[in-house]
Amino acid sequence: MDKKGLAVITGADGGMGSEITRAVAQAGYPIVMACRDMEKAENVRQQIIAETGNTWIECLHLDLASLDIVAGVADFLLRRAEPIALLMNNAGTMETARRTTADGLERTVSVNYVGPYLLTRKLLPLMSSGSRIVNMVSCTYAIGKLEFPDFFTMGRKGGFWRIPIYSNTKLALTLFSLKLAEICRTSGIMVNAADPGIVSTDIITMHQWFDPLTDIFFRPFIRTPRQGADTAIRLLLDAAWAATTGCLFASGHPKTLSPHYLHHPQSDELWERTEQIVARWLMKTE
């Protein structure tokens, strides 16, 4: 089997992440599993190697709440200079309380948006025509709001409320996907966003007294991690979508976005503010 370009998958040890990693491994790609919990990642790696026979799988420590660590992972891959065929920004969080990172960012914002933004921007030199970037978003982007500068430091204006903050980060990641697709259009790098739907993973646990009731009455009716991962897997691997870029996909189909998102009034400001935040880490790349 000929060795293909590298696939980098964040949160590759999670529910959907492990399903995406398994599918990409079966397709014969060498894989970097970029994960925060290295012990868990190694267990998943060994399972996938045993199931697929693909031994070109390694684990790298990635904590998206630290931009130094994000840049370090990207710089390590840049030094190796292996061409990247696939980048799957899958990792995400829904924090239960407001926490500020060492970089001064609200933690949900760093993990779900700024960290993936920085990783993607730094790895672009390793990508070329035919490379695919897929960002895992959420249907909650539709209720997201970007209030600057509070978005970066607090997630939202006012008190902490986890669902709106999560939604705000997914709106930001969606707008990043659309703008990056335009920037990369002439290079042949495909950039798309995948909405997995409501998926039965640990991220939806509310850490409240009603969680056991949620598990009994709610989880049986939502998607399994494999079902949730399906759209992202197809965006990464299907030949039919090899030339598709600048789209949001849900349930295996492109979703028609209103002009409000295609030409969002805050898209340029979001890009410029994010560029200012990550500038010192990008300087080493560019």
Put the strands of the sheet holding 132-136 in their side by side order: 57-61, 31-35, 6-10, 84-89, 132-136, 190-195, 247-250, 253-254
Quote the CA–CA distance of 202 and 17 in Å, as a whole number. 12
Collapsed DSSP state (helix, strand, coil) of residue 132? strand
State how far Cα 266 lies from the chain centre: 21
Alpha-carbon distances, residue 250 vs 72, 117, 227 (angstroms): 32, 21, 11
Choice among 113, 117, 141, 166 that is catalytic: 166
**Which residues, at least 6 apart from 271, have a Cβ–Cβ distance to it below 8 Å?**
176, 179
Whole-angstrom Cα Rg for the chain: 18
Residue 118's H or E segment, with its range, is: helix 115-123
166 is an active site residue:
yes
DSSP bridge partners of 35: 61
- Residue at 17: amino acid letter: G
To the nearest 10 degrees (0 to 180), the angle between helices 67-80 and 115-123 is 20
Residue 14's H or E segment, with its range, is: none
Q: Which residues are catalytic?
A: 166
